[in-house]
Amino acid sequence: MARIQLGMVGGGNDAFIGGVHRIASRIDDRFELVAGALSSTPEKSAASAEALGIPRSYGSFEEMAEAEAAREDGIEAVSIVTPNHVHAAAAKAFLAKGIHVICDKPLTSTLEDAEALAASVAEAEALFILTHNYTGYPMIRQARAMVASGDLGDIRIVQAEYPQDWLTAPMENEGVKQAEWRTDPARSGAGGSVGDIGTHAHNLACFVSGLQIESLAADLQSWGKGRKLDDNAHMMLRFAGGARGMLWSSQVAPGNENALKLRVYGEKGGLEWSQEDPNYLWFTPLGEPKRLITRNGAGASEASQSVSRIPGGHPEGYLEGFATIYNEAADAIRAVQGGASRESAMGVLPDITAGMAGMRFINACVTSSANDAAWTKL
């Protein structure tokens, strides 16, 4: 089957997430990266493209969208991996040309941008896929399926947390590029930790529980000296239907590297999953011994096996989970190219709706915290 011709916006040298997208696009061999507008200047872009063996380089995403749309062998899809404030404009440019968009999260840096982008997506014929990559982990898929099938009974409690420690010291003042833009409201938006990682925890909590947050009460803090955005956020959650929860995001908790963790409890049982040990899922049916289900091992269901590549005991990781989003994006693109509806093609892929939910989440966090943690609707 022919590989999908792919372009990339952002992701030049030193950009962590750009490299991740490229590996993820290769793992299942569904894409061929042939074009890029990788950096902020044509020269840097060209240098990065050459270093990466990408044949066509452009000076800007606008130029790229124009030129690729005009080629017969032009890109069919584009990955947008810039800082948040560029997402909306870039995505709109490619959607307008009928090029499918795979966009990093959070959706945009402002709610206004997000709404404009959502309008464009609604009008477009191309697909818009948001890389909430943690939904690609096999055991997250299984957790979602187990909740949906009633293994936990009615859901009562959802505990989500995402602590990190890399901003414990004020790295943004020490020349760390990743730290600079992520702590800059102009480039990241109104949310600090809540935007960068809280959105992942929020997304995952909803993805697995099948529930939507109705309102939240949030207490945001900035511990790094001179930091403008939150680097630690505490919040309580009320889900539609009555379930309750808590969410903690932090970038200042020493000893935590990327410790996204989700726990869901219903009247019949519980589930626990940790991103740093992603091949395991604890299932705790009430009154029975705890069960440790392993990816592709005994107890693994179709939901997790279908997105696994190798046998149990051979750990898959972050890149494979990310690759599953790309693999399913390829399926979806081929499906709509073959005439399927956008909705049916998307399956469980994170979409503009998930992106808008994330933006409303960030907004509610910031608003609630400004109102002394008053309950705030999403």
Q: Is 156 in the site for a copy of itself (CB under 8 A)?
A: yes
Identify the three-state secondary structure at position 375.
Answer: coil
User: x/- contact string, 163-202, with a copy of itself (CB under 8 A)?
Assistant: -xx--xx---------------------------------
Q: How many residues bind a copy of itself (CB under 8 A)?
A: 88
Q: Is 266 in the site for a copy of itself (CB under 8 A)?
A: yes
On the CB side of 312, CA atoms within 13 Å amount to 15
Calpha distance 166→354 (Å, rounded): 27
Q: Which two tokens stand for residue 191?
A: 């949310």
Binding window for a copy of itself (CB under 8 A); candidates: 122-130, 198-206, 249-257, 354-362:
249-257
Out of 13, 42, 297, 342, the only residue in the binding site for a copy of itself (CB under 8 A) is 297
Q: Is 150 in the site for a copy of itself (CB under 8 A)?
A: no
**Closest CA relative to residue 162, chosen from 65, 266, 48, 276:** 276
User: x/- contact string, 68-107, with a copy of itself (CB under 8 A)?
Assistant: ----------------------------------------
Calpha distance 348→329 (Å, rounded): 10
Out of 148, 186, 286, 370, the only residue in the binding site for a copy of itself (CB under 8 A) is 286
Residue 372: left if φ>0, alpha if ψ -120 to 50, beta else—which one? left
Q: Which two tokens stand for residue 144?
A: 């979602």
Q: What is the DSSP string of 120-141?
A: HHHH-SS-EEE--GGGGSHHHH
Q: Is 309 in the site for a copy of itself (CB under 8 A)?
A: yes
**Burial category of 220 from C-beta neighbours within 10 Å (exposed 0-12, middle 13-18, buried 19 and up):** buried
Out of 7, 10, 106, 245, the only residue in the binding site for a copy of itself (CB under 8 A) is 245
User: What are the angstrom distances between the C-alpha of 81 and each of 10, 166, 350, 370?
Assistant: 5, 21, 16, 30
Q: Is 377 in the site for a copy of itself (CB under 8 A)?
A: no
Query: What part of residues 7-36 is at the interface with a copy of itself (CB under 8 A)?
Result: 16, 19-20, 22-23, 26-29
Q: Which two tokens stand for residue 217?
A: 């009460």
Binding window for a copy of itself (CB under 8 A); candidates: 198-206, 218-226, 342-350, 358-366:
218-226
Q: Is 331 in the site for a copy of itself (CB under 8 A)?
A: no
